[in-house]
Structure 1
Amino acid sequence: MVEELAQADDAVAACVDDAAWALAEAELIAALDAAHRLEQRLSAVKLALVREIDGRGTARAQGASSTAVWLRERLHLTVPAARRLVDLAAALDTGNPGIRAALANGDITIDQARVIGDTVATVHTTAGTEAADKAVGVLVEWAGQFDPTLLRKLGTRILDHVAPDIADAAAKAALEAEAARATRDRHLTLSTLTDGRLRLTGILDTETAGLLRAAIDPLTAPSGPDDQRTAAQRRHDALADLCRLTLRTTDLPEHGGDPAQIVITTSYDELTRHLGAGTLDTDLHLTPDTVRRLACDAAILPAVLGSTSQPLDLGRQRRLITGPLRRALVLRDRGCAFPGCDRPPRWCDAHHIHHWADGGTTSLANAVLLCGHHHRHLHHNDWTVQLSGDGHPEFIPPAWLDPDQLPRRNHYHRRT
């Protein structure tokens, strides 16, 4: 297969530099159709490979918390996109083979395959295998005329075509299945922009959407006749107010041994001279004015940093890595230090490099920040961790994964 894919790669590469402008209109359209069909066929191959990798447990064996995270590292995808690949690969593997065949033949797109797979799964549950097989044929035929959005809408009444005797009773089951998919697909993604701002994207299920609106709507009203903010800006400010109100409660759970809090790193001299910008523990930056405003209502915890941003003086030694020592660890590692992991500090545990029970000290030189998955992985696998010459953690993979055992670092968390 590797050789055949390499030959296909060479053939496609030969087309990249061909002059599309020289094609007659009929040839241009035919070339587009061929490229599109080839793209879908390659998608079928990729899904089969993803399914095999997921089934073998390759991702976890190599230290990733899931196949989706491993695909993000390997193929440079977003985690939601990678997760959709894994889910669709599983659905096509365990579902009706007609969907996989249609994709492999280039008759449907990968998005249409996802819609058909969801719809056929519902039909199979409510009407059995025979009706599901009929549904595949009908939906594949419809896919030649309709885009994925309209195909999904038409699919809600597919039983009228393949099992009319139970269509009305199954409509309720279809609604329940749609609700289950909404629960499965719920997500919220926080993406850091290059200028330090944050983009929020996601899908809320119906209940959560209702909760958010109930909480945020009372805070979105204009503050007066002179309020020049747009509706979107008022929603933004309402979300900020909601977060402030929440952080003032005492009901939030702890994060890694500390109460819920905002941690800002800045220079004391620059703070007092109105000059210094601040850095949150999420690596986002704040203006000097914002830092000073927040400092008016905050407990200031001093941290002395060396030239490589290494915390030098943050409190006494203890067995548990909490308080000032944990804050020092967050300042240094910025999140899970395991290579390829993007988990923020609040999701992480502090790990003794040389275990306390074996005589290891509780100090910055003997600690590393790890998310729950990679903390367990380090304890039960052959990876080792050490601090490099610049004081930052690096991980040595097992020989079966990398015969040269070259040290690896995490590059997701920005360092100064």
Structure 2
Amino acid sequence: MDDRVAVLARALEECRAVSVWALCGQAAVDALDLLEAHAGWVGAMRFELIRGVDASGIPAAQGATSTVGWLRERHRLLPGAASKQVRLAAALDRECPVTAGALAAGAVNVDQAWVIADAVAKLPAEYRARADEYLVGLGGEFGPKELAGLGERVLEVVAPEEAEARALAALERAEERAYVGRELRLSPLPGEGRVRVAGWLDREAAAVVQAALDPLCAPGGFGADGGEPRTPGQRRADALVEVCRIATACTELPDNGGDRPQVVVTVDYDTLRYQVGAATLDDGQLLSAAAARRLACDAAILPAVLDGAGQVLDVGRQQRLFTGALRRALVLRDKGCAFPGCDRPPRWCEGHHVIHWADGGPTNRDNAVLLCGHHHRLIHHSDWRVTINPTDGHPDFTPPTHIDPQQQPRRNRYHRRE
């Protein structure tokens, strides 16, 4: 070894005496390739020596706390670089003899050797030799980055049955962690009128939720007023509300405190009548008067109407205002959301009082129209107006002036195919 190192030192001295600028063209390329090949051999020799120094206890004898510390101090290395050299030296000696030989022969470089050693170390002992040989065989074709990716999947090549069993076990553990870690949080934001929804679902549950949301959050159905105005996030939020609205409308949810699931809105009569002030949900959260009026159109609502002194004037019984024969009549007439251009079917729609019942409007077909959740909100919170045409009894929608200065009434032609 001493003789070889001495020969190498003399050769390097001779090279230093020659200016690299004297090399040009292919001669420079050949010299570079030769140096890279010999760098592998120098690296292999270095790791052998580090392993020997470590095994002989020289660092401790010289007062160092570890071989890593000794290397860092003696050769002025970063701590991470010194640690990496010691670990690679040990791996090449114990677990990656094929890589060590390839490094000495210039078939792989130091970076490739480190990647191979790292991949091999993650495998069960009985598969390491085969993985070492397989990855070295790929060293002439792939660099360190690509080898790292191949190393992550090397067990699939050297032991496919073991890899499949491990993957299945890992999947089961991940599913169990995901299921145990499931949660849903609804956090009201003070002063903002919003509630933050956050949480985690396992993949199985998420697939069920996604399947329920997808049909409800597709864009479209807004043709007459210039296209889909909602962002994807807004469509998903609307779809989640629609799913819950459909669920509360069915009879299969369990009772909540002895009653079917319901929304309780407490509102004084003037607020409901004149839309001045706020209503209160049963958890103490506030709703605008407009939102209370919209909810009261067609939902499982208990309207607790109070006078100015807070005395109960009327606590309405749970009912769906547009039900039975009346709702079937609306479905036969409107065949879905009646807003111009909307294609949502009847089962996604709510009954809307053209003249609100708080304003004295009756609950009958001549004062009702089917609207999806989005357009129900639009009618309550924009300048769109809906009327029932006295000639044929069908709803007409008058757009605001910024959409149509002439305010020509529009109808939904999608469902009726007129």
Band the TM-score falls in, shorter-chain normalisation: 0.3 to 0.5
TM-score in terms of structure 2 length: 0.38
Which protein has the larger Cα radius of gyration, Structure 1 or Structure 2?
2
